[in-house]
Each structure stands twice: as structure tokens, then as C-alpha cells.
């Protein structure tokens, strides 16, 4: 690893210090500190503009008389078929969810395939059927696409990019910067199921009942929440980097503190067991069908009520609140009564989880 | 190859005949017959909807009071740096051009990186600078992005997806189905430069002066053409599969014949020489800064005039016309005075050219 660290006196030709590494590491894609460093120093330093700098799950801009959200994600998950889903349903739901987290109704998705030579056509067919089903379930259309094939050993079976466009209804104002002291933090259900489902398959762990990914489209749940109350300030789905990383991003971007209680955060017994075996903290493990909503204190009860009536929000609960102290930080009351800082994920925990 | 052919009696589990192959070949990404078979039998058979079935370079739909175009492309070009460009400028210009070919003014682009572990940060930095310059030159904003990292040997340095959104000005009606007998076929300049620039580097060919990719944004040229005359029926950029494949697609989708003259099609001497050495027909070689316009006979002169005044259309000329005979086919008058059918590319000619 040290060989990869940049020697500040080495005459490295880039005009910026960039990251502290000369070569890209897996951790640069992990959703934690190195990902943020890469995005800030390499991408944002050049691409900076008002829209990109929102650092939302998508960009929000006007087209004609409408406000649109536009989002993109490439999916490189390994394995491409897993308990509870596959790369196709993940690619549809992931982008649908990114749009929903901007408060948008997702409408149109693109799909772009990078296929490794030798992929069985039957596997591609299964993925395509799954994308079709996921698109129908989420109520979106797959409207444009692209197919590339790379030589054997230059890809890994299948990568899929989906980008998507949605429309933001009038009166909806969702943005990470809007978290305000006093706001309540709602979590829609138990965490870490997607990441642990993938890691269990990779590590060959066996349980009495198999842990399933929670991969699901969240736009229906968000519709119901916004219909109940427009005072939703922030929505995020805790994917790569998990609940801990998403809360850190919100705290940083809104310049507030976030206080959560460990004993309130739901983790299924099986997932907790797997986390112990694998050495993971569930707070950092990816979810693909859960959301965090930051809502005004007044709105919390009405939002929770509609969530409880939706299949994907039955177990929704308040896990903490936004505070004026600890600006930019996430602080957790632990089970044993102490307090600890929950930092952003550092290093690589779960490569290629989405 | 035969082992890969599907035995119709083998009990192959897919419900469709699909392609004639069991496993994906490089040629499925080549832009020719196998690509079309894959798209039609695997993707379109499931994803079919009115928008996708336009089979345009992008999907066209209304948002509020505007008509939008939406397009996606993943770039897997090898090598990532080449004479005349790099994967970054290609990724920006390629999607800008796809939108322009729908008659849209490109506005917003997403960028999604799939990076192989170990890529020098400096290489990524060069690509990012190049994307920034290309976006500025084309007048588009990069508004949302994603970064994934895959393990060493599971990718190839860098793949980039760009998706884009543009707005179609009032009165513009461009669509492959609109080619009508009597329409003139305009080509904006000499062909095959992108593909041959890439292949020359790969094969280590040396020429007196290096062949450069023609990679360029065509939206400015299209703006000028549409300002001069709205009677442009079809626009296409002949990328993968080259001029021959694009003309075949238009002939098929509009149900017309296309007649072109070999001696009119401009190929630089150096490119022609390289094609002979490498065994390529320039008609099938990719371009990244050329367009084909199919315009009404009345409009041809005014469109050509503005093209000649634009740096990317100086050498534009009429290479043939749309005819009522030979429905679905492209027929070429050869140099020696005969006629031959110009078929769609079959098999793989130039893998990973874009």
C-alpha cells in the first residue's frame, strides 16, 4: 500500500495533490472516505457547476414548466444473481430509488450493457426479464439503450448502467442541505440485508433461512409519504457505505449534527449474526430497499402513519434527530449508555456490492 | 465457433430462439447483424414500448411543454488515449452527437465511471480534464455522476457511460422512418478516420503523418443546418458499423431503398491505404465526427451551403438518394460502373472501437 502513496516530492505530473494514492484502489469505489476524496478532488474540481454541486442522488433542473431529476448509476455487483434479486432488478430499482430520493416520480430509464465475451445468452435473457419485471413494478419505461461487448477477461460477465429521468411534483422541496435542528430521522426498516445477502453468497455462509437482499423500488412509498405531508426535508437511500455514510453526508452538507440511538436501529437477528461472523458493522452495510427521511418534528407522525401502511415501510421508526451541536458529525447513543462518533466508512468494506 | 451454435433440439431453457449462439461473442457488440439480432430478440422482445421502438439514437418524449431527447452510451474503447482524442472526449461527444441526431439541443450529461483497480490516478485526471474541455466545447453541463471500482482483471482500465438530455426545437421532426424516395443523402466529410486511427495504434502501423480520430461534437453543425432548413428528415452519425450499417438501418426502418455512388464517398488517401493494409472496407469503419443527413431534394442546396460554412461540414456532399426500388436495401454504383448491394456488417470487424 505504501508504494501506492504519493511522495509529495516525486514531481507527480498532476496539477493537484489529488488523492493520497497514485493508483485507484477498490476502496475508491466503496462509498466511504476515499470515494468522497476522489469525487471532490478529481471530479468536482473540474466538473463543478451549480447542478452537480447539489450532490444529491440526482441533478435537479427545469425543463419547460417542469422540474426534472436526472440520475445515473453503473452496477457492477458480483455475483450477478443473488438471493432476492439480480443485477437487472438492482439496476432498475437503484436508479428508480435515486430519482425517488430527489422527490421525483421516475418516468424513463435508459439501460446500457457492458457484456463480457462468453456470457451465456441465457443469463442475459434472465437479467432482461428481471429488468422488465422491475420496470413494470416501479411503473417506469425503459426507453433507450446501448450494448457493448468486451473481450474475455476485460470485464466480469455483465455491468449495467441505468440512467433515469423523473418529474418533481409541485411543492416538493427535498435536498440534503435542508436538514434542520429539531427534524426527526426516520428509517424505513431493518438494515444491512442487501450487503449481507451478497457477502453470505460470496463467502458460502449457510443459515437456516437464506438472507435475502431487500432490493425494491421505493417510489411508491415516497409517493405515499409526500401525499401525506410535504414537510419532508431530506430523503436518502443508504446504499454503498450504509446508514452511517449517508447520515455523515447529510450532516456535512447541511452543516448540522445528527444524533441517533443504537438500540433503535433495527437489524434482524440473522443479519446481526452474519455481521458478527463476517466482522461487519451493520451501520456501514449497503441496503437497496430502505430509505432515511428527515422530516420536521410536526410532520413525523403523519409520515410514519402512511409508511406503516405501505409494505416497504411497515417497520418504519424514528431513530434520532437533527441537532445544532456536533456540526458535520453523527453521534450515536450506544446500548451501554455512552456516546460515540459514527464516522464515514474508511477503506473498503464490501467491494462490488452494487 | 460451432460449439457455440445452438442446437435446436438441445432443450435450451430460454423460451425464445434468441440468437443463434449460446454465448455472447465480441461481434454482438460490433454494430452489425449480430448486434441487431441481439437487440431485437433479447432486448426489444421484452422492453418493447412506443418510445424504445423508435430505434432512434435516443428516445423522444414530452416533458411539460417541451419535447426531450434522452440517450445513453457506454464507452469501452481500447486504448483509452488515442490520436485525436481519448475515452473522455469520446464519451462526451458521442452522447452529444446521439442527441443532436434526434434534432435536439444537448443540455445535460451524466457521467458514470467503471474503473479497474490500479488505474493511475493521473490517467483518470487526464480523462476528466478532457471531458471538461469537451463539455465546454459542446456547450453541455455534466450534472450528475457515479463511480465504481472493479478488481484488477475484471475490467480494463476505464469504461465510461454518459447519458444525456436535450430539447428539440419547435418544428423539428427528425426520425429514421421519415426518409422518402427522392430525398438526398448528404455526408458531412471523409469517412473511416476514427476506426482507422484506433486500429493503427493497436496494430502499430506508422504513417508519414499520424491518422487522427475525427471525434468532435456535431451539435453546432446540426444547429446551423436546422436554422437553414427544417426539411431535414433523418440525421445519423455513422459510428460502430460505419456508413454502410447506418444506411441499412435507415433503409430498413423507413422501408425505402438507398442508392449511393462509390466514387462520391470521400476517403483520405492515408485512410484508404491503411484500410488496404488492414483489410477493412471504409464503408464499415466507425466515425465519431461525421453525420449523414437525409433531406428533401428542395432543401439539399440550402443545407449544403451552411454545412460548407461550418468547420465540421466543409467537405459535405451528396453521395446518393433515397429510392422507391430495393426496399430495405442499400445499393452502390461502383467505380467500375456496376451495382452492388451494400449489406449490414456481419461478424466483428473492429472490437471496442467506441
**Residue A196 corresponds to which cell in the numbers above?**
449481507
pLDDT at residue A342 greater than cutoff 50: yes
On whether the CB atoms of residues B217 and B92 are closer than 8 A, the answer is: yes
DSSP B6: P
pLDDT at residue B312 greater than cutoff 80: yes
DSSP B277: H
Quick one: which of B226, B102, B79, B43 has its CA closest to A142? B43
pLDDT at residue B346 greater than cutoff 90: no
pLDDT digit string, tens, across residues B283-302: 999 999 999 999 999 999 99
Give the pLDDT mean for A317-344: 96
- Minimal Cα–Cα distance from B4 to chain A, Å? 9
At A18 the pLDDT is 56
Residue B35 sits at the chain A interface (C-beta within 8 Å)? yes
Q: Please provide residue B243's backbone torsions phi and psi, each rounded to the nearest 5 degrees.
A: -60, -40
At A158 the pLDDT is 98
The torsion defined by the Cα of A177, A179, A180 and A184, in degrees rounded to 10, comes to: 180
**Residue B344 corresponds to which cell in the numbers above?**
449490414
pLDDT at residue A184 greater than cutoff 90: yes
Quick one: which of A174, A258, A259 has its CA closest to A222? A174
Kindly provide the ipTM of the predicted complex, given to two decimals: 0.94
Q: From CA A59, how far away is CA A220, in angstroms rounded? A: 20
At A73 the pLDDT is 97
Q: From CA B162, how far away is CA B89, in angstroms rounded? A: 11
pLDDT at residue A15 greater than cutoff 60: no
Give the pLDDT mean for B304-319: 98
Edge-first strand listing for the sheet containing B317-323: B232-236, B292-295, B184-187, B317-323, B257-261, B330-333, B339-341
At A106 the pLDDT is 98
Residues of A in contact with B29 (CB under 8 A): 115, 147-150
pLDDT digit string, tens, across residues A246-281: 999 999 999 999 999 999 999 999 999 999 999 999
Residues of A in contact with B39 (CB under 8 A): 145, 147
pLDDT at residue A17 greater than cutoff 90: no
Let me know if B293 is exposed, middle or buried by CB neighbors in 10 A (0-12, 13-18, 19+): buried
pLDDT at residue B139 greater than cutoff 80: yes
At A302 the pLDDT is 97
Give the pLDDT mean for B118-122: 94
- Minimal Cα–Cα distance from A249 to chain B, Å? 16
At B294 the pLDDT is 98
pLDDT at residue A283 greater than cutoff 60: yes
At B7 the pLDDT is 47
For the domain spanning A176-341, the CATH number is 3.90.650.10
Residue B92 sits at the chain A interface (C-beta within 8 Å)? no
Portion 99-158 of B in contact with A at CB < 8 A = 108, 110-122, 124-125, 128-129, 131-132, 135, 141-151, 153-156
**B69: helix, coil or strand?**
strand
Residues of A in contact with B120 (CB under 8 A): 22-24
Report the half-sphere exposure of B169 (CA within 13 A, side-chain side).
Answer: 15
Quick one: which of B211, B216, B186, B189 has its CA closest to B289? B216
Peptide bond preceding A79: is omega within 30 degrees of 0, i.e. cis?
A: yes
pLDDT band with cut points at 50, 70 and 90 for residue A210: confident
- Minimal Cα–Cα distance from B331 to chain A, Å? 28
Q: From CA A105, how far away is CA A97, in angstroms rounded? A: 10
pLDDT at residue A318 greater than cutoff 60: yes
Cα dist. B229→B51, B61, B189, B212, B299 in Å?
A: 26, 23, 20, 31, 6
* Closest chain A residue to the Cα of B113, Cα to Cα: A74
Average pLDDT of chain B to the nearest whole number: 92
Is A156 close to B150, i.e. CB distance below 8 A?
yes
Residues of B in contact with A25 (CB under 8 A): 117, 149
Question: Cell 487522427 belongs to which residue?
Answer: B212
* Closest chain B residue to the Cα of A25, Cα to Cα: B117
Is B121 close to A22, i.e. CB distance below 8 A?
yes
DSSP string, B129-194: HHHHHHHHHHT-EEEEEEEEEE-TTSS-SEEEEEEEEEEEPTT----GGG--TT-EEEE-S---HH
Q: B60 - beta bridge partners?
A: B69
Q: Is the dihedral of CA A90, A94, A97, A99 positive or negative?
A: negative
- Minimal Cα–Cα distance from A11 to chain B, Å? 12
- Minimal Cα–Cα distance from A43 to chain B, Å? 7
Please enumerate in sequence order all residues whose Cβ is within 8 A of that of A59, keeping only pairs 6 or more positions apart, or say none. A51, A52, A69, A70, A71, B108, B110, B143, B144
Residue A163 sits at the chain B interface (C-beta within 8 Å)? yes
Is B59 close to A113, i.e. CB distance below 8 A?
no
Question: Cell 433515469 belongs to which residue?
Answer: A164
Range of lowest pLDDT (A213-227, B6-20, B79-93):
B6-20
| Most confident stretch, A24-28, B204-208, B306-310 | B306-310
pLDDT digit string, tens, across residues A110-128: 999 999 999 999 999 999 9
Q: Where in chain A is the domain with CATH 3.90.650.10?
A: 176-341
At B16 the pLDDT is 47
Residues of A in contact with B20 (CB under 8 A): none
On whether the CB atoms of residues A208 and A324 are closer than 8 A, the answer is: no
pLDDT band with cut points at 50, 70 and 90 for residue A19: low
- Selecting from A14, A75, A124 the residue whose C-beta is nearest the C-beta of B125 gives A14
Is B161 close to A163, i.e. CB distance below 8 A?
yes
Residues of A in contact with B351 (CB under 8 A): 149, 151
Let me know if B5 is exposed, middle or buried by CB neighbors in 10 A (0-12, 13-18, 19+): exposed
More confident site: B57 or A73: A73
Q: From CA B106, how far away is CA B111, in angstroms rounded? A: 14
pLDDT band with cut points at 50, 70 and 90 for residue B230: very high
Q: Is the dihedral of CA A252, A253, A259, A260 positive or negative?
A: negative
Check if CATH label 3.30.1330.10 holds for domain A58-168.
yes
Residues of B in contact with A73 (CB under 8 A): 112, 146
At B17 the pLDDT is 45
Residue from A68, A102, A121 to probe the interface with B (highest B Cβ count within 10 Å): A121
Residue A55 sits at the chain B interface (C-beta within 8 Å)? no
- Minimal Cα–Cα distance from A177 to chain B, Å? 17
Residue A9 sits at the chain B interface (C-beta within 8 Å)? no
At B18 the pLDDT is 55
Is B47 close to A142, i.e. CB distance below 8 A?
yes
A234, containing H or E segment:
strand A232-236
Q: B59 - beta bridge partners?
A: B70
Is B110 close to A70, i.e. CB distance below 8 A?
yes
Q: From CA B310, how far away is CA B221, in angstroms rounded? A: 6
Residues of B in contact with A145 (CB under 8 A): 39, 43, 47, 52, 72
**Residue A341 corresponds to which cell in the numbers above?**
462518533
At B11 the pLDDT is 40
Give the pLDDT mean for B251-265: 97
Residue from B25, B80, B149 to probe the interface with A (highest A Cβ count within 10 Å): B149
Q: Where in chain B is the domain with CATH 3.30.1330.10?
A: 58-168
Give the pLDDT mean for A94-112: 97
pLDDT band with cut points at 50, 70 and 90 for residue B331: very high
- Minimal Cα–Cα distance from A338 to chain B, Å? 36
Q: Please count the residue pairs, one from chain A and one from chain B, whose beta carbons lie less than 8 angstroms apart.
A: 284
Question: Cell 490516478 belongs to which residue?
Answer: B121
At B3 the pLDDT is 62
pTM of the model: 0.94
Is A110 close to B72, i.e. CB distance below 8 A?
yes
At A7 the pLDDT is 46
Amino acid at each position: 500500500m505504501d508504494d501506492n502513496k504519493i511522495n509529495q516530492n516525486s514531481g507527480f505530473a498532476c496539477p493537484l495533490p489529488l488523492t493520497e494514492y497514485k493508483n485507484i484502489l477498490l476502496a475508491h469505489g466503496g462509498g466511504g472516505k476515499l470515494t468522497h476524496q476522489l469525487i471532490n478532488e478529481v471530479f468536482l474540481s473540474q466538473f463543478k457547476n451549480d447542478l452537480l454541486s447539489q450532490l444529491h442522488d440526482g441533478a435537479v433542473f427545469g425543463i419547460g414548466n417542469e422540474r426534472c431529476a436526472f440520475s445515473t448509476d453503473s452496477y457492477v455487483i458480483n455475483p450477478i444473481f443473488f438471493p432476492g434479486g439480480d443485477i437487472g432488478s438492482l439496476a432498475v430499482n437503484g436508479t428508480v430509488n435515486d430519482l425517488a430520493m430527489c422527490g421525483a416520480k421516475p418516468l424513463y430509464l435508459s439501460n446500457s450493457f457492458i457484456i463480457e465475451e462468453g456470457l451465456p445468452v441465457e443469463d442475459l435473457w434472465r437479467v432482461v426479464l428481471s429488468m422488465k419485471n422491475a420496470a413494470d413494478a416501479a411503473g417506469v419505461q425503459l426507453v433507450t439503450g446501448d450494448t457493448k461487448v468486451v473481450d474475455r477477461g476485460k470485464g466480469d460477465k455483465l455491468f449495467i448502467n441505468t440512467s433515469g429521468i423523473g418529474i418533481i411534483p409541485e411543492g416538493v422541496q427535498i435536498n440534503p442541505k435542508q436538514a434542520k435542528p429539531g427534524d426527526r430521522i426516520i428509517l424505513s426498516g431493518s438494515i444491512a440485508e442487501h450487503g449481507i445477502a451478497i457477502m453470505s453468497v460470496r463467502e458460502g455462509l449457510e443459515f437456516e433461512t437464506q438472507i435475502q437482499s431487500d432490493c425494491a423500488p421505493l417510489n411508491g412509498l415516497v409517493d405515499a409519504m409526500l401525499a401525506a405531508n410535504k414537510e419532508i426535508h431530506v430523503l436518502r437511500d443508504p446504499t454503498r457505505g450504509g446508514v452511517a455514510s449517508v447520515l455523515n453526508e447529510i450532516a456535512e452538507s447541511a452543516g448540522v449534527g445528527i444524533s441517533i440511538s443504537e438500540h433503535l436501529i433495527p437489524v434482524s437477528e440473522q443479519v446481526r449474526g452474519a455481521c458478527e461472523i463476517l466482522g461487519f458493522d451493520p451501520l456501514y452495510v449497503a441496503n437497496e430497499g430502505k430509505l432515511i427521511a428527515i422530516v420536521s418534528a410536526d410532520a413525523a407522525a403523519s409520515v410514519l402513519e402512511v409508511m406503516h401502511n405501505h409494505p416497504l415501510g411497515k417497520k418504519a421508526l424514528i431513530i434520532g434527530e437533527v441537532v445544532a451541536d456536533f456540526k458535520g458529525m453523527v453521534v450515536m447513543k450506544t446500548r451501554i449508555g455512552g456516546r460515540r462518533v459514527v464516522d464515514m466508512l474508511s477503506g473498503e468494506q464490501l467491494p462490488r456490492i452494487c
